[in-house]
Amino acid sequence: MATDEEAPLVVENPKNQNPIVNHERDIHILSCAFLLIFLAYGAAQNLESTINTEGNLGTTSLGILYLSFMFCSIFASLVVRKLGSKNALILGSTGYWLFVAANLMPNWYTMVPASLYLGFAASIIWVGQGTYLTSTARSHASDHILNEAVIIGKFNGEFWGMFASHQFVGNLITLALMRDGEGGSTSGTTTLFLVFIGTITLGAVLMCFLSKRTGKEETGLQDSSASFFFSVVTLFKSIITLLQDIRMLLVIPLIAYSGLQQAFVWAEFTKYIVVPTMGESGVGGAMAVYGVFDAICSLVAGHFTFGLSSISIIVSGGALVQAAVLAWILLSHSVTGGVLGILYPLLIAALWGIGDGVLNTQLSALLGILFRDDLEGAFAQLKLWQSFAIAIVFFLGPYISLQTMLVIMFAALCLSMSGFLFLTLKVEKAFSYRAV
């Protein structure tokens, strides 16, 4: 008997003579490709505020990037429909390559255009990822007569577990190649970014081996005879329709909070909690711990996802963890030395990674279950509101205190969880009864 490793990419189905794609292998490829791309981009993003300090070039570039991401997310579903999810994934990887390459000669003429283009590329790669993964999970469940929600949860768990480990791997590479020099300077950045360019290239090549999806997201939506105007009108109708759906309105606050809590780690946590006690050299270690717990939690949460009831329980657990961390920092944060000065930020990083792992896996699974008839539009909404929240943190962070940010985060968490629980406990039941 052939093992999983020996199984061919396509086998014949003796019942209907139609080829069956090895869907699990596609998820393995997709997960590895994103790991290679984002271990480079994630580490580069963490370094922007440290190595590109002149005129706040690094943080300003990231703010521009996420504003571009937000705007382009409006049209991302149209692009993905026209290109197909596989082609969108490959094209999207070029933006990350260009952004990392721009760091070899960082100035306003290289970083700003690269940031603008990456906003477009990121919007289509993430809409493509959500569409591709969910379509693959559904096809796998259909081919093997399995519970669709369980397979969506399992595939999301594997993907987000692999993806979350990019923080650990990328930061280890950074620690190995970068060195502190005299006068606060650093060396090894050129070598580091060349290595990152190589990993992104490898990830993009790996995506070429993905099977082309033949589900709804790739058929019936790419009519070449349709005018661009008609396509844009259809797109805006889709956006308006989703925004009129009470389920989307109730999940948007949770989507926005997921963006806030990610940006909080990248900007506020490292600046106010890690650096004062562990120094700049400790940022890589703290983010590595964050990535490890994020990855483990993503895998575990995905394994236990089987429907809306499990999603509501898992998300509630993750929200309680992050609420406890926010209250802990707000009420008792102080800069301490010694062993506690090291353990304190590492513990916060671990707990925050647990919450992020929960939100990543469960939001993707939730949208895949609730909006199966418009995957591209649903995942475009996901990235639109996430990037909007992230951009707010990057632009407002320098002008508000840590305490103010914590209060905003706590209020956003409470609001988003209220809407989410109302959705899962009341609204979705009404939709289910109506569909029967």
Residue 87 in tokens: 């082609």
Q: What are the sequence ranges of the domains in the chain? A: 23-211+244-433
> Could you please report the per-residue DSSP string of 139-167?
HHHHHHT--HHHHHHHHHHHHHHHHHTHH
pLDDT < 50 regions, the chain: 1-18, 183-184, 217-226, 435-436
Place of tokens 């580490």: 43
What are the distances in angstroms from CA 328 to CA 283, 287, 325? Answer: 20, 19, 5
**What whole-number distance in Å separates Cα of residue 60 and Cα of residue 56?**
6
CA 187 to chain centroid: 30
> Could you please report the per-residue DSSP string of 206-270?
HHTTSPPP-SGGGSSS--TTS-HHHHHHHHHHHHHHHHTSHHHHHHHHHHHHHHHHHHIIIIIII
What are the distances in angstroms from CA 60 to CA 42, 106, 285? Answer: 16, 12, 25
pLDDT confidence of residue 180: 58
Residue 428 in tokens: 């979705």
* C-beta separation of 121 from 277 below 8 A: no
pLDDT confidence of residue 11: 39
**What whole-number distance in Å separates Cα of residue 146 and Cα of residue 141?**
5
Virtual CA dihedral for 274, 278, 279, 285, nearest 10 degrees?
-70
Nearest to 413, CA basis, from 260, 213, 212, 306: 260
Residue 334 in tokens: 């102080």
pLDDT confidence of residue 429: 64
**What whole-number distance in Å separates Cα of residue 279 and Cα of residue 168?**
18
* Superfamily (CATH H level) for 23-211+244-433: MFS general substrate transporter like domains (1.20.1250.20)
